[in-house]
Amino acid sequence: MIEHIVIVGFGCIGQAVLPLLERAWPRAAITVVDRVLDNARQALVTRHGLHAIRATVTAANFRTTLDPLLRPGAFLLNLAPSVCSRDLIALAQARGAFYVDAGIEPWDYEADAQASHLSNYALRHEMLAFARGRETLPTALVAHGANPGLVSVLVKAALMALAGKAGMHRPEPRDRTGWAALARMLDVRVVQVAEYDSQQAPGYPRDGEFANTWSAEGFITECLQDAELGWGSHEPQLPPDGYRHDYGSGAAIALDRPGHRTRVRSWSPVHGPFDAYLITHNESISIAEYLTDTSAGEPPYRPTVYYAYRPTAATQASMQWLDDRAAPRVRGERILRDEIQCGEDELGVLLMSGRHGAVWHGSRLSVQRARSLAPYNTATSLQVASSLVAGMQWMLANPTRGVVESDALDFRPVLADAAHWWAPLSVQFTDWLPRPGAASLAFIDFLLDDPKVRPDPALLTLAC
């Protein structure tokens, strides 16, 4: 039983998760904290009987703002950009409260002159260092939205499906070592988080406007950061603009170009082969490290892991306003929700083996179904919101695990809790390759040279 839930950030995902929280814990009091409480947000506060605090949470005031709201057994949901995950975890654990977020956040993405210090590799490295010594404190689940988050659960389910296809009828792994060994035995060389968002909002974006199905601010930040990916042991060499990190686990590399200028080939059951952007994400690094096998007497093994994202046509058109490392031409932001008329968010994981073909496991959630399940939602937001709630359910059963990543979760109960919201879920096998004869599955075979292709303008006006 949860008595009190505190939501920092009452934007797209904060509003989307609200009906799911009320359904799961109808007696819980809910407090929302946001820098903006406009008429639309205030109407939700009144309709749902929430306690609302208008405040910009900063490094200077987060303790005085949030400490009075936290007590043992409460949940702190950090769903705001540029609100430091580590500081809020420390506060929540000191008060005996649980913590969950959808991505590791610093206080300010623009405060550090060296952008590499704010890469997902760096943020995760600092989070893991922070977590040491906290292993028995109240559970804090970090980076557990849809992706990063539930996709790490899907990877385990996909590994079991691929093992079944390959005739490997083995007991289900019980720990990281076992999962990494299974991935090695299956010769999994590539793990793509493959997403094709076909939700349509005809007429958007407007001139100078950045339109997106979740945080426009958050996605702009991701677009402008260096592309990052977990780096596999099968890779023959770094790509021309690739570089390694001189600290940490070494599980990932980065490219000296932003994600919105980096395109790769991907595949999904509905759309088949498609072009996508390689956008930096936490799970690219955490999954790669989780599946690293360094068994004695064996060469190191690791798959290449990255996020291949084809956003809505409206978002792709919005990306024309981005320069390489800045967004001075963006004059406004729009979160697409009620504007969406049709379409679905096809989100899954694509595991590609050098010996057993490939398997895609994921969701084909339509916007119509999302709206029928929960108000204030699109397909994109419901995938994130339901992952948060499934993670919270797992935390209640595992209350003193310290700081935890999605990769460490028991995948069956978490997937079972999310499956209703993500349905239809499907598993499909394929022999697709990024180009004919690319059996080695090297990253260079997926990488496309022309990063400036824009969507067909006709896609912005298609009728549903």
Cα separation, 143 vs 282, in Å, equals 7
Q: What is the pLDDT of residue 113?
A: 40
Of 304, 143, 147, 156, nearest in space to 230 by CA: 304
Q: How much is the pTM?
A: 0.96
Class of domain 4-142: alpha beta
Q: Sort strands 263-268 and 252-258 into parallel, antiparallel or unpaired.
A: unpaired
∠ Cα 439 440 441 (to 5°): 90
* Domain regions of the chain by residue span: 4-142, 150-378+418-461
pLDDT digit of tens for each residue in the chain (464 aa)?
A: 899 999 999 999 999 999 999 999 999 999 999 999 999 999 999 999 999 999 999 999 999 999 999 999 999 999 999 999 999 999 999 999 999 999 999 998 765 444 556 899 999 999 999 999 999 999 999 999 999 999 999 999 999 999 999 999 889 999 999 999 999 999 999 999 999 999 999 999 999 999 999 999 999 999 999 999 999 999 999 998 999 999 999 999 999 999 999 999 999 999 999 999 999 999 999 999 999 999 999 999 999 999 999 999 999 999 999 999 999 999 999 999 999 999 999 999 999 999 999 999 999 999 999 999 999 999 999 999 999 999 999 999 999 999 999 999 999 999 999 999 999 999 999 999 999 999 999 999 999 975 444 554 445 555 67
The residue whose two tokens read 């799961």 is: 24
The residue whose two tokens read 């349509």 is: 200
**Are domains 4-142 and 150-378+418-461 of this chain identical in fold?**
no
150-378+418-461 fold: Dihydrodipicolinate Reductase; domain 2 (3.30.360)
Cα separation, 105 vs 62, in Å, equals 14
Of all helices (H) and strands (E), which one includes residue 51? strand 51-54
